[in-house]
Chains A and B, each alone.
Chain A
Amino acid sequence: MLLALLRKIPFFLALYVFASLAIFAAINAIPGDPVELRFGKVVNAERVAIERERLGLDRSFVERYILSQKQFLTGDWGRSLGSGQATTVDFFAFMPATLELSFSAMLLGVALGLSVALFGALGSYPSMSRLANGIGTIGLVVPIFWIGIVLLVVFSLWLGWFPMGGRFDMASIQPSRRSGFLFLDTVFSGDLASLGIAFKHLALPAVCLSVFPAASVASVTYARLQEPELQAFIVALRSRGYGTARILWRHLLRVSAGTTITVVGTSFGALLGGAFLTETVFSWPGIGRYLVTAILERDVFVAQNILTFLVLLVIFVAFVSDLIVFQLNPKKEEGE
């Protein structure tokens, strides 16, 4: 385990340098001087020059890149040019909301996707097999914001079961902030009413965002279980007289765990992308919306640092899922 970790470090470092450089170059290439644009409707050239110098924007590309990485790694993420707020303060304000949403969506998605794929693979549920084939297509093709709006219309507007977006009631007092994760905060404060409110706000966006992971998990796992050797395995298990439940829980779940974890690990990036759209439709105050606004507003320090962090996070998650798969089945890595 430790050895596997160590072996990956140079690879991880190389990825970091490549990713951070690509991000820096891309943000640098967006037309428009961030300081000039920050000054609003009427720009004062003198003040722009002073501000550029203060922010170090007048230096060369290489100097700025090195400085930006030094600042990124030391946690000095600068301030938003628009709001003047420290980027790290914003990060800790918005990131938990996104993680809460993505994590719930992932959990829900895996549960849904796995159930469909497993039942489908057993072969005795023709409708499930069709669903397993269909859900992949639907989940990957239907735009997420459209799903979001349909959910809002049906469950909020017509049925009135859920609030129409937002993370908490405007009329209620939010539990005091400890972790920033509303769920944990409500649990810490032992406030069940708040937990209920937080849960109701989370439900629809989580369902909306879970469609994509559900689809990926269902289609990939289903395809894996369709492989002849596994189909033969199922037949063998059945011939021994094992019941459906035992086949599912004791055998198929284990066999498909590796595939599922790989899918989860690699689709985490796409999930964050979907989080932006979900955050927009459901007025969810997350990092996705914050980041996209920052890019559109040329808020360079925010965009640079947050984007670098998210890319590293995505790589890290993929890496960890790799390790877990290896732990589950050490033969796999040797064979490759």
Chain B
Amino acid sequence: MMKCQIALCLVLTLFALAGCGPKADTPNEAPQVFVFARGSDAQKLDPADIDDGESVNTLTQICEGLVRFKSGTLEIEPWLAESYSVSPDGLVYRFKIREGVQFHDGTPLDAEAAAFSFLRQMDESHPAHLPEAAFSYWSYLYQDVVAVEAVAKMELEIRLSQANASMLRSLAIFPAWLISPSSLDTYGSEMQRNPIGTGPYRLKEWRRNEAVILERNPDYWGEAPAFERLVLKVVPDNTTRLLQLKSGAIHGMDGLQPTEVAALRNDPNLTVYEEAGLNVGYMAFNLETERLSHLELRKAIALGTDKQAFATVALEGAGRPASYPLPKGFLGYPSVEDKIIYDLERARKLAAPFVDLFRDKPLEILVMNAPRPYLPDPVTAATFMKGQIEAIGIPAKVVSLDFKTQLDRLRNGDFETALIGWVGDNGDTDNFLSVFFGSWAAEKGTATNYSFYRNPEMDELLLTARKTTKTAERAELYEEAIAIWKRDLPLLPLCHGDNIVVLSSQFEGFQLQKIGDLRLSEIRVK
């Protein structure tokens, strides 16, 4: 009897503990709160000093720039500037600042206030040029800016040292978003965690590694967001995140695996948004290695790669094959497509003279072991490539590493071939081709030109195109550059990964953005 009682007590205690209280109060009962979940938290909330997608997506709700991309396109529209003009030589940009806008702390927006966000990046003696901040984007996309000045109360002038056709686009992305000039006085170096923008939401609370909690900006100059609060929740585990979405505990999420997406497309309670992202996944050939310096061998690998099958197998439909080293629709994307067509027979013939080189030491394919936007399942992708390369007679092996280690080996040229990719920053062609093919980007240690491809002809074309402000002329130059890529094949484009976001179908108004940032303030209840 006694034993039963004790056992019963134990069991009852457990149940009492478990069952106490009403059903878990998840925020879905409060329609005033929209909860979006993602795999990791923002790192910092300083638009001038971030690099990771989560930080950018958080700031997308809080900050705005002088110009922005028209929703769902790569066209520029005036935003915090009412209008703008560019001088005929492309050296002077003038922005007429919008009247009646104020930062979340009440500071009115004028030209002086707008200049703050640029000057603090440009001028090393500026008090808000924090020593711990890297400002890495400034020296990369805005290196041509020499002066930023308020020429009138509501007129800001940005002067360049040389024309730069991608500048306007660069001014639409996060490093050029504006924060209140009083940020430094209010928060000191903590301003990197306390953004004061002009956007539809303002920061309420940041529970690190848990959630960023935003609240509606009551003084927003544009259309007010539909929700009182927007919660950007961190749910690191993919399975848990999906369970939460299905249970209604969250209203939207990203970071899905292709296999998961397939199962969600037919779920009437969910809406899947997917679109080709501004990225290219590719195979980099290290031209400084003996074996990959043979053009014929690179051609053989290119001809022997069935990209359609690659997209099906390695991306499971969550991406599309890439014919060129830049996304479709970009300036310079060949008007008449002349892509490399899969031809196993020819590939075998071309590869035959090189087979002996690989007899003792197979071709090495370096790959990262965690998903990237351009390669949702990198190891499967690499295994597929190994199969394709072995089919033309070259033995190959896959070496998978964590992303940072791979990046380090790529930047130092310590590899033979690698699967890697690039996510565009500002939607400009230069942001792809210069990164891949410019010889200035082939310095050991800091390279982004992982093929270590150096060709003066290519350099000349890229530099001229960057300065050319006439669109048609620029397009021609880039088409030429693409032709040279095809001749020399320093890398083999493989795919464009999709941007994927899933929302509960009770909402509407969401639009995927080309450059991938999430404008969650546009979401409404149906």
**Residue A289 interfacial (CB < 8 Å):** yes
Q: B234, A283: Cβ atoms under 8 Å?
A: yes
A47-B139 in contact (CB<8A):
yes
Interface class of chain B by DSSP: mixed
Interface with A: B19-27, B97-105, B194-202, which one?
B19-27
Contact A43:B136 (CB < 8 A) given known A152-B243, A156-B24, A244-B2: yes
**Chain A, range 223-248, C-beta contacts under 8 Å to B:** 243-245
For window 78-123 of A, CB contacts with B under 8 Å fall at 79, 82-85, 90, 93-94, 115, 119
Q: Does A183 contact B (CB under 8 A)?
A: no
In chain B, positions 396-445 with a C-beta closer than 8 Å to chain A are 402-405, 407-409, 411, 425, 435, 443, 445
| Cα separation A115 to B3 with both chains bound (whole Å) | 11
Contact with B along A280-297 (1 / 0, CB 8 A): 111101000110010011
Is residue B18 within 8 Å, beta carbon to beta carbon, of the partner chain? yes
Give the bracket for the number of chain B residues in contact with chain A: 35 or more
The answer to whether A157 and B207 touch across the interface, beta carbons within 8 angstroms, is no
Min Cβ gap A135→B in Å is 14
Chain B 236-251 interface 0/1 with A at a Cβ cutoff of 8 Å (1 = within): 1101100110110100
Pick from B86-94, B127-135, B372-380 the stretch touching chain A.
Answer: B127-135
CA distance A316 to B448 in the complex (A): 46
Query: Which residues, 16 to 55 on B, are CB-close (under 8 Å) to A?
Result: 17-21, 23-27, 30, 33, 35, 40, 43-44, 49, 51
Name A38's closest neighbour in chain B (CB-CB): B134
Whether, in the assembled complex, A209 has its beta carbon less than 8 Å from a beta carbon of chain B, the answer is no
- Contacts A196-B21, A289-B236 known; A42 to B405 CB distance under 8 Å? no
Answer whether residue A124 sits at the interface, using C-beta atoms and an 8 A cutoff. Answer: yes
Cβ–Cβ contact A156 & B140, under 8 A: no
Binds B, one of A17-25, A27-35, A214-222: A27-35
The yes or no answer to B210 lying at the interface (CB within 8 A) is yes
B237 touches A280 (CB 8 A): yes
Is the CB–CB distance between B409 and A83 below 8 Å? no
**Docked-complex contact B233 and A161, CB < 8 angstroms:** no
Contacts of B249 in A (CB 8 A): 163-164
Complex contact B210–A167 (CB within 8 A) = yes
Contact of B25 among A41, A119, A171 (CB under 8 A): A171
Interchain CB contact under 8 A, B243 and A171: no
CB-contact partner of B3 in A31, A79, A119, under 8 A: A119
Q: A310 contacts which chain B residues (CB < 8 A)? A: none
Cβ of A149 under 8 Å from chain B: yes
**By the criterion CB–CB under 8 Å, are A84 and B132 in contact?**
yes
Q: Which residues of A contact B458 (CB under 8 A)?
A: none
Q: Does B83 have its Cβ within 8 Å of any Cβ on chain A?
A: no
User: Measuring CB to CB, which residues of chain B are less than 8 angstroms from any residue of chain A?
Assistant: 2-3, 6-7, 10, 17-21, 23-27, 30, 33, 35, 40, 43-44, 49, 51, 131-134, 136-137, 139-140, 189, 192-193, 207-211, 213, 229, 231, 233-237, 239-240, 243-244, 246-247, 249, 402-405, 407-409, 411, 425, 435, 443, 445-446, 448
Q: Which 8 A-B pairs have CB atoms at the shortest separation, nearest pair first?
A: A40-B51, A32-B408, A43-B446, A285-B209, A163-B24, A171-B27, A42-B140, A285-B210
Given A43-B445, A44-B139, 11 more pairs with CB closer than 8 A? A44-B136, A44-B140, A84-B44, A85-B193, A155-B18, A157-B243, A160-B247, A163-B24, A170-B231, A285-B210, A297-B404
Q: What are some 19 contacts across the A-B interface (CB < 8 A)?
A: A31-B408, A31-B409, A40-B51, A44-B136, A47-B139, A94-B209, A152-B240, A157-B246, A157-B247, A163-B25, A164-B243, A164-B247, A166-B233, A200-B21, A200-B24, A282-B240, A285-B207, A296-B402, A296-B404
